[in-house]
Chain A
Amino acid sequence: MYEAYNRKLLRVNLTEKTQVTEEIPAEVINDYIGGMGTGTFYLTKEVPPTTDALAPENKLIFSTGPLTGTGAPLFAQTALVTKSPLTGGVINNYCGGGLAQKIKSTGYDMVIIEGKADELTYVVVGEENVEFVPCPELKGKDVDEVEDVMKEKAGRNCGTAAIGLAGENRVNYASILSATRVFGRGGNGAVMGSKNLKGIAFSGSRGVKVNNPQLFAQKAEEAFDSFKKATDNEHGLLGVFSRFGTGGGLKLLNDSYVLATKNHQLAHFETGEKINTAAYHKLGRSRRVACFGCPVHCGQLHSFETGEKKGFYTRGPEYETMYSLGSDCVNDDPMVLAHAHDLCEKYGMDTLSAGCTIAFAMECYEKGLLTEEEIGFPLPFGAGEGILKMLELIARREGVGDMLADGTKRMAEKLGGGSEDFAMNVKGMEFAAWMPQRMTGVALTFAVSNRGACHKRGPMGAELMGVLPMETTEGKAAIVMEIQDRVNALFTLVGCRFADFEVPIELFIQLMNAATGMEKSPEEFQVMGERIWNLERLYNLASGMSAADDTLPARCFDPVDVRGEMKQLDEKAFRNLVKEYYRLRGWDEEGVPTQQHLEKLGITAHWGS
């Protein structure tokens, strides 16, 4: 039983410079599997909900799952769970590439980072020892350089996670990067910076054995064949992603009038075709890249071979960045977008929150709430150079950048003047690339998600493709709830969000059972997702959130132009949808899980226990 696990977690305490190894109890694995599940279990248990996210008492939990490092396709990601400085709640993030396999190869399923180093430090996690390496000379250095230094020390083959300047400066939406992949949202990079931790290298050589090799290989083959078939279909979603990356979807969204533009004032970006992946293919050489063992290969590498930027190369931008630093800022210059994306990688910042915050600042500028004198340069919508300058200021927390580095919610609190109506965030988290104005499922998802305005667990695909009507609220509460629980369950295996687009989740449960010897049913798996969702909710409520935070900025109820016709999200219908959602969740009218429901799920408020 549990063959595909190491069954061990490592605690790295930066204050004491100590390492402790613990066995992960069977009941924790049984109830929470791994990844986001075990990560959320330990975080909520060990970090009191009222803890300041940037205090040494917060923890960073890197967590893998039983399918990590195996031949099951689309299980390459690492889950990271921490308390977010942006939302104040518990947050889970996912980073692709090859990091998760490297973490697991050290002999640990989870690594918990605790405390705070007394000077800037990086850590090398090996199979036996943890090495604490003071690195004051890396202060202010870019992620790439930090990775090179760590690889020099720990070997070229090691996996890395590092922060740039934004993390050191506690930008509220600073990210942690691993090569060109990112733990994007909610400011985990600021948490790492607050611990004086510049990077972590994972260096191991252990493999993964599975409980039933023959069955596992057969099921992995089945999954591989399904993904291969899906990517062979050039008109299907994964087929488009495998050829053009996630940016391949931009045209469809724009044509459907659901592409958030000009700080969510518009649903269509007139010149959107200038910044989609096809546009990048015209500027130079491109290549497809994949996460570890993944046949979908949705990554795109570009190198630029013409004009003044000749020789510049990058991975991305991804679709969400084409929105945030593209359409939302009315920026249709692909070189500016590529550079903006690159600055975010260099300094380690979430492109979504950074772009959305700059779009907000642009609107504040146009409305006179921020002046050219305060900013130092003009910042109207479409100001390409302004975007690049502002990203520098944010990462450095210089001038007005210091305010933008706190995110839209805190900015609006400072600026006033009705700006909170168009500060596009929920619970402090800036909007992902979707429009609640156009899609009721997205509206509910953004309003009630434990991560804030997050796109990971919503029916946007079905609403976009016409499987679900965009504009009616009927049935949406049950659909959103089902997706939230299913995706949470998938994230305990640390499966890619694209995994269940084409392959039924049952196959992943079969893979998990064949790998571990467990005998989980699809129903148990779904309930586990629900258990985690409720645990997060309970924790967030204890951290100070309430039903009042399950809402949307006023702009979401303004009419928006759809091919000349004005469309609107009905505020009353939306409020009723939230109420219906609470009811289906087994929560009271204030959005608090009832005792009866918590007992059914087998969870308690275990913090401080």
Chain B
Amino acid sequence: MLRFNPEQCTECHACRLRCSFVKEEEYNPDKARLSITGKWPELPKLFSCRLCKDPDCVAACPFDALSQNEKGIIAVDYEACTECGLCVDACPYDAVLQFKGRILICDTCDGEYLCTKACSTDAIFPGEER
């Protein structure tokens, strides 16, 4: 899963820009699959999918729109999804994001985590496989 060192994060949001460009071919931090918030003197926090075992988001979906593969990655079936947001509420880590209703969950870029390549301070970095 994606790891985070808040001491190193400069809150520049380059990771979110990169994510939106990779996934949507558009620069729009609000369409990223990860989120970072912070207000000094508090340290920033990262919100992104932790690839839970028995994930609450999948269980919460009444329409079977979410599924998890053997690597722990959650896939969204946008045909089945009604954008009800129950998965958003169910995630204990606030890591299921939404843009104008559309559910956004980190898919790890096949374990490559391309967002980390935009980080100038190595504050986010790929962690161990689940």
Please list the residues of chain A having a beta carbon within 8 angstroms of any beta carbon in chain B.
69-71, 73, 98, 101, 105, 157, 205-210, 213, 217, 224, 227-228, 231, 285, 287-297, 299, 301, 303, 313, 315
Contact = CB atoms under 8 A, between A and B. Distances in A.
A562 B121 CA distance: 40
Given A157-B30, A207-B26, A98 B13 contact: yes
B25 to A, nearest CB: 5
A283 B30 CA distance: 37
B14 A293 contact: yes
A68 to B, nearest CB: 10
B27 A69 contact: yes
A86 B64 CA distance: 64
Given A213-B25, A291-B12, A297-B12, A71 B40 contact: no
Contact of B20 (A207, A210, A295, A299): A207
B26 A301 contact: no
Given A157-B30, A287-B10, 13 more contacts: A98-B13, A206-B28, A207-B24, A213-B25, A224-B118, A224-B120, A227-B120, A287-B7, A290-B12, A294-B10, A297-B121, A301-B41, A303-B40
B21 A289 contact: no
A205 B30 contact: yes
Contacts of A157: 30
Contacts of A69: 27-28
Given A101-B29, A224-B118, A313-B40, A217 B99 contact: no
Contacts, number: 85
Given A205-B99, A205-B100, A208-B27, A73 B40 contact: no
B21 A71 contact: yes
Interface residues of B, number: 26
Contacts of B120: 224, 227-228, 231, 290, 294-297
A26 B11 CA distance: 35
21 contacts: A71-B118, A73-B14, A105-B28, A157-B30, A207-B24, A207-B27, A207-B30, A208-B27, A208-B28, A209-B26, A213-B21, A227-B120, A231-B120, A288-B10, A289-B40, A293-B13, A294-B12, A295-B14, A296-B120, A297-B120, A297-B121
Interface string B31-53: 10000000011010000000000
Given A71-B118, A303-B41, A293 B17 contact: yes
B41 A285 contact: yes
Contacts of B41: 285, 301, 303, 313
A290 B29 contact: no
Contacts of B29: 101
Contact of B28 (A98, A205, A228, A297): A205
A231 B118 CA distance: 15
Given A205-B99, A228-B120, A313-B41, A70 B27 contact: yes
A209 B20 CA distance: 11
Nearest to A294: B12
Contacts of A296: 120
Contacts of A295: 12, 14, 120
A294 B9 CA distance: 12
Contact of A71 (B11, B18, B43): B18
| A-B interface, 9 closest residue pairs, ranked by CB to CB distance from nearest | A207-B28, A295-B120, A290-B12, A290-B10, A207-B26, A297-B10, A208-B27, A293-B14, A303-B41
